[in-house]
Chains A and B, each alone.
Chain A
C-alpha cells in the first residue's frame, strides 16, 4: 500500500540517502563485518549529506528538524540496503535526544557543532555486567570531589563504544532516600579522559559491523559541567526516550525484513530446481505472500507510530506493542526468506544470512519481547 507520510522533500532526501547507501555503505559491509566496526570517517560522510545534523538546532549548524520522519527515512534506507550502522543509530535515535532535551547552553555550544559536522559521535553506557533492564540496580558510582566527580565502574554491551567520542555514563551519585530509582545521574565522559578504558570489541552473533564494547572507568575525573540534566534525576530521563528508541528498532526491523523479502523474490526468480524456477512452486508463492502481508500490517502499525511520536502521543505501551509486533514479524519473515534460499541462505556471502543473524537481537535489545509484554500488560491494569 502507498504510504502517505512523506512529501516531496522527504522523497528527495530518501533518494540521496539511498544513493549514499548503495555507493558508500552496501559494497563495504563484508569488509566492515570482518573488521568488527565501520570506519569512523563514515560518520563524517553521513554528516556531509546532513544526516547527523537533522535534529541539531540551526544555530549550531544543524537543520533544526523536530520531526522523526527524516530519521525514519535514514534508517529505512540503511535497512533496505541490508546494511546496519548501529553506532549511528544509537547516536541519532537514542543518545542525541538526551542532549537535545537536557544539555544546558554551555554544553550545547561545546558539543552541538561537533554533532552536526560529524566530529562527535556519542554513545550511552547503561548496561552493566550485572544489570540489564533493571536500571535501578546498577553499581557504577560517581562521587563528588570539588568541581569533579570521580567515576568508577564497568559497563558492557555498549553499541558504538569503540568509535564514540562522548559516552553518556549512567552512574549512581547518591544512595539517599527510599526509592532505589533516585540518585542516578548522567555523566558525559570524553575520549581520552584518564582512567577511561575501552575494553574488548565484543564478538556477537550478528550486527558484526557495529562495535559493541566493554567500557571500564577507573577513578575517572569527570568535571561537574559534564553532568547532563539534573543530578540524581537520570531514571526519569532514561525512561522518557524509550518510545523513540523502541520505534527506531522497529523501523530497522521492518526495513531489514523488507530487504529480506526482496532478496528472496530475486533469488526464487533466478534459482531453478527440478527444472522449474523456485518461484513457480506454490509453496514459494504462499510463503512470500504471507511475508508480504505481515510486512504490510507491521508497516501500517509503524507508520501510525511515527506520526504519533511526532505529535507526542506515542505512549510507552504503544511503542512496546510496535516493537513487539515488528521484531517478531521480522524474525518470522527473515527466517522464511532464508529457508527459500536453501543451503545458500546459510552461507555468509549471501546477505540473507547476515540479515538472519542481525535480526536475532532486535527481540532482546531496547527491552526484550518479555519486557515489552510486561509494559503492555501494565497498561491493561493487570
Chain B
C-alpha cells in the first residue's frame, strides 16, 4: 500500500532580509521576498529519503498562506515531492499557531496521511510548537525534534539529541514527526526537478473545503495580540582594547564596570 507522507511547510520572509510589519502588526509580506522556510527544507529532505527507501510512497506538501506561498510549494515539488496542497483564504490573514494548526489538521485529514513531517520551527514566527499541537489535534503520536529517522513496516523510529542525552524513539503510524536542522542537508532543486515540478498537481482549497468556519481563524480570533512592534536599534560599535601591556587589566575593568563579573 502507498505510504502517504504529508510535509507541512511555511512560506516565510527571507531571513537574510529586513523585516517589516504591516499596519495591523502582522508580518508585511509585500515588502520582502518570501521563500520556503529553510527549516522546512529539512522535513522535505527527510520525506524524500523515506520515500526513496520505501517500496511505494507519495509525498504531499501542504501549506497555509497567501497566494505567493505557492512559491514554497513549487520549490518542494522541484526538490521531488509529488503533489501540493495550498489552503488559502482571505479570512486566514493574521491566524495564530492555534488557528494554523487547526487548518493543517483538517487539510491533512482531507488529503489522507500515514506520516506528517514538519520542520523544527518556522524561521519567522519561531514558535516550534506547531507539530505538537497538530499531533494533539489529529490524536496521533508525536515525535518531535528528531535528528535522525526511518520508517519501516508502519513504524517510525528516530533519535532526539538533547543537551544531556540522546533518546531513541518509536511510534506506530500514523504519527507526526518534526526534524531538526541536524537531520541532514536538504538537496537543491535540480534543473530537471524544476521542469518536472511544472507538471505536478497543485491543488488550492479554501476554508469551506476543509470544513472550517471563518470565526475559528484570523487575526480577530488569535489568542494573543501584538500590541506594538518596534525596530531594534542598530548595534553600536564595540569597545576596542589595544593591548600595550595593560590589556588584561583593561578587560577586567570593562567586565567589572559592566557588572558582567
* Cβ–Cβ < 8 Å partners of B192 in chain A: 50, 63
Question: Which B residues touch A247, using CB under 8 A?
Answer: none
Q: B194, A12: Cβ atoms under 8 Å?
A: yes
For B188, what are the chain A residues with a Cβ–Cβ distance below 8 Å? 16, 19-20, 48-49
Q: CA separation between A234 and B188, bound complex, in Å? A: 39
**Interface assignment of B74: CB less than 8 Å from any CB of chain A:** yes
Q: Are A9 and B198 in contact (CB under 8 A)?
A: yes
Please, what's the 1-or-0 string for B169-193, where 1 marks a CB less than 8 Å from any CB in chain A?
0000000000000000001111111
Contact residues in A for B78 (Cβ distance below 8 Å): 12, 16
- With CB as the reference atom, state the residue of chain B lying closest to A70: B191
Write out the residue numbers on chain A whose beta carbons fall within 8 Å of the beta carbon of B189: 12, 16, 49
A16 to B197, CA, bound (A): 14
Closest chain A residue, CB of each to CB of B35: A15
Task: Judge if B195 is at the interface, Cβ distance under 8 Å.
Answer: yes
Question: Would you give the shortest CB distance from B54 to chain A, in whole angstroms?
Answer: 22
Taking the complex as formed, is B4 at the interface, i.e. its CB lies under 8 A from any CB of chain A?
no
Q: How far is the CA of A339 from the CA of B193 in the complex (A)?
A: 43
Asked if A222 is at the interface of the complex by the 8 Å CB criterion, the answer is no
Given contacts A16-B78, A19-B188, 16 further A-B contacts (CB under 8 A): A9-B194, A9-B198, A12-B78, A12-B194, A12-B197, A16-B188, A16-B190, A20-B188, A48-B190, A49-B191, A50-B190, A50-B192, A50-B193, A51-B191, A53-B191, A63-B192
- A3-53: which have CB < 8 Å to B? 9, 12-13, 15-16, 19-20, 48-51, 53
In the complex, what residues of A have CB within 8 A of residue B194's CB? 9, 12-13, 16
Number of interface residues of A (CB under 8 A): 15
Complex Cα spacing A49 to B193, Å: 9
By beta carbon, the residue of chain A nearest B186 is: A19
Which of A12, A20, A49, A53 is in CB contact (< 8 Å) with B74? A12
Interface of B is mostly: helix
Say whether A122 faces chain B, with CB atoms less than 8 Å apart.
no
CB of A213 within 8 Å of the partner chain: no
A302 at the interface (CB under 8 A from B): no
Check B160 for interface membership: any CB of A closer than 8 A.
no
Complex CA gap A382/B44 in Å reads 62
**How many A-B Cβ pairs are below 8 Å?**
39
Q: How many residues of B contact A (CB 8 A)?
A: 15
Within B66-82, which residues are at the interface with A (CB < 8 Å)? 74-75, 78
Instruction: Pick from B191, B192, B194, B195 the residue with the most CB of A within 10 Å.
Output: B191
**A380: shortest Cβ distance to chain B, in Å?**
41
Interface presence of A54 (CB below 8 A): yes
CB distance from B119 to the nearest CB of A (A): 16
Instruction: Collect the chain A residues with CB atoms within 8 Å of residue B195's CB.
Output: 9, 63
* 19 A–B contacts from the bound complex (CB under 8 Å): A9-B194, A9-B195, A9-B198, A12-B74, A12-B189, A13-B191, A15-B35, A16-B78, A16-B189, A19-B188, A20-B188, A48-B188, A49-B189, A49-B190, A50-B190, A50-B192, A50-B193, A63-B192, A70-B191
Give a binary string over B193-224; 1 marks a CB under 8 Å from any A CB, 0 the rest. 11101100000000000000000000000000
Residue among B74, B187, B194, B197 having the largest count of chain A Cβ atoms under 10 Å: B194
Cα distance, A245 to B62, chains bound together (Å): 44
A91 to B78, CA, bound (A): 26
Q: What distance in Å separates the Cβ of A82 from its nearest Cβ neighbour in chain B?
A: 16
Among B75, B187, B191, B198, which residue has its beta carbon within 8 angstroms of that of A54? B191
User: Which chain A residues border B74 with CB–CB below 8 Å?
Assistant: 12
Contacts of B198 in A (CB 8 A): 9
B190 and A12 contact, CB distance less than 8 A: no
Question: A13 — which chain B residues lie within 8 A by C-beta?
Answer: 191, 194
Measured CB to CB, the closest approach of chain A to B8, in angstroms, equals 21
CB-nearest residue of chain A to B198: A9
Residue of A nearest to B185 (CB): A23
Complex formed: what's the CA distance from A67 to B198 in Å?
A: 19
Interface string of B74-115 (1 = CB under 8 A from A): 110010000000000000000000000000000000000000
Closest to B74 in A: A12
Q: Which B residues are in CB contact (< 8 Å) with A19?
A: 188
Complex Cα gap A15–B191 (Å): 11
Q: Which 10 A-B pairs have the closest CB atoms?
A: A50-B191, A50-B190, A49-B188, A12-B194, A49-B190, A16-B189, A16-B188, A20-B188, A63-B191, A13-B194
Give A325 to B7 CA distance when docked, in angstroms: 49
Give Cα distance in the complex from A70 to B189, angstroms.
15
Task: Say how far A45's CB is from chain B's closest CB, in angstroms.
Answer: 9
What CA separation (Å) do A20 and B190 show in the bound complex?
A: 11
